[in-house]
Amino acid sequence: MLALALCARGADFYLHPNDVVVFYGDSITDQRLYTTYVETFVVTRYPKLPVRFVHSGWGGDRVTGGGGGPIDDRLKRDVLAYRPTVMTIMLGMNDGRYKAFDDDSFRTFSDGYEHIVKFMKDATPNVRITLIDPSPYDDVTRAPMFPGGYNVVLLKYGEYLRTLAERNHLDFADLNTRLVKALERANLADQANAQKIVPDRVHPGRSGHLLMAASLLEAWGATPAVTRVEIDAASAQIKQAVNTAVSGLESTGSIRWIQKDEALPMPAPMNDPLIALAVKSSDFVEKFNSETLRVTGLDASTYLLKINGRIVGTFTRENLASGVNLAEFDTPMMQQAAQVHDLTLKRAEIHNIRWRQVQLPLHAMLPARAAAVEDNLDALDNDLAAVQRSTAQPASCLYELTPVQ
């Protein structure tokens, strides 16, 4: 018996085949965390969708530029040079100057931001731009620096960006609200660890960036479902198979089947206490990592689930009948997705070395030699991207549900 995968993947997703996405911003983008999470999600959730990602954040940047040079130099060298079809912009944390709202700072920010938008639209009229409101300053787990707090200032900047996006027919992503709500919940559950989600109040750790990535992906219309499978063990029938193909179903006491998925779960290691706290304090699982297995018509009270011979967990008949989210367990699919993310990080680091350690400091001094190194690093980046894509392709897995005596 065979159940074919249902639903066209990526039909309504923001990214298109062969898109080039450039992430632009200040030190929070320069951390290469929310950006690499977004990249890994796209590669694992849409493994047949070829998209290239470039990480162009620079610590300390404002709308006027910063350590990487004036804004026009940054845009030409670090964005336009890659011929982007998609660009995200996250600026504002430094533009507000870490003080109460004032008109002069805001005017500089708004004028500078509109210059960036006009510059990009003049240079590449068809580029699709997503404006990102500034990520939060943590006024939740620690007392604000002044009445109202700095995040209120950033929210005002975000409100302006939303109207700017509407006025210019651009896209907008709110990376502030979800993380603030998670901080509020986490602070009630575990104040000490809640403070570590944004440890210096400005730069989130991995756990905070995971939720920020989720917000950008939500704005882009990413699907929450990895797969959904429903089996009736009593009649040995496959009732539902979404984004997967199920074959070889056997139900004779133990239940066995082969599953070939169309996507992998998003790796979110729940053995990391900060990741676990952030995920449990948010809607991340239900909104972005739903890998549901539902089995009804079972006789025994408890079953052991193995995938490819690896023990995933023990579940009651009632657990299985209501549905188990496999994305919350250490499955072979989750391990494969973690390998993909490791390749994502390696690829981003290679690009950063090429850009920050070769191109910028050495190209003018030793142009021929630097250009040769840059070409080799670009080739290595491309090779890693190919390995990353290959690693993200789902494989057939053998599922076994065995009664526990």
Which CATH number does the domain housing residue 85 bear? 3.40.50.1110
Instruction: Tell whether 60 is covered by a domain.
Output: yes
> CA-CA distance, 381 to 15, in Å (whole number)?
21
Residue 139 within any structural domain of the chain: yes
Residue 172 within any structural domain of the chain: yes
The pLDDT of residue 270: 87
pLDDT in the model for residue 11? 61
Is residue 359 in some structural domain?
no
Closest CA to 285 of 244, 209, 245, 226: 226
Can you spell out the DSSP letters for 309-343? TEEEEEEEHHHHHH-EEGGGS--HHHHHHHHHHHH
**Amino acid 253: pLDDT:** 87
- What is the spatial distance between Cα 238 and Cα 196, in angstroms, rounded to a whole number? 45
Helices H, strands E: what count in the chain?
14, 17
| Domain annotation covers residue 339 | no
List the domain range (segments joined by +) for residue 159.
14-219
Q: How many domains does the chain have?
A: 1
Asked if the structure places residue 255 within a domain, the reply is no
Residue 317 falls within a domain, yes or no? no
pTM of the model: 0.95
pLDDT by residue for the chain (405 residues), tens digit each? Answer: 444 444 444 568 999 999 999 999 999 999 999 999 999 999 999 999 999 999 999 999 999 999 999 999 999 999 999 999 999 999 999 999 999 999 999 999 999 999 999 999 999 999 999 999 999 999 999 999 999 999 999 999 999 999 999 999 999 999 999 999 999 999 999 999 999 999 999 999 999 999 999 999 999 999 999 999 999 999 999 999 999 999 999 998 899 999 999 999 999 988 899 999 999 999 999 999 999 999 999 999 999 999 999 999 999 999 999 999 999 999 999 999 999 999 999 999 999 999 999 999 999 999 999 999 999 999 999 999 999 999 999 999 999 999 998
Cα 21 off chain centre by: 13
**Is 61 contained in some domain?**
yes
Residue 138: strand, helix, or coil:
coil
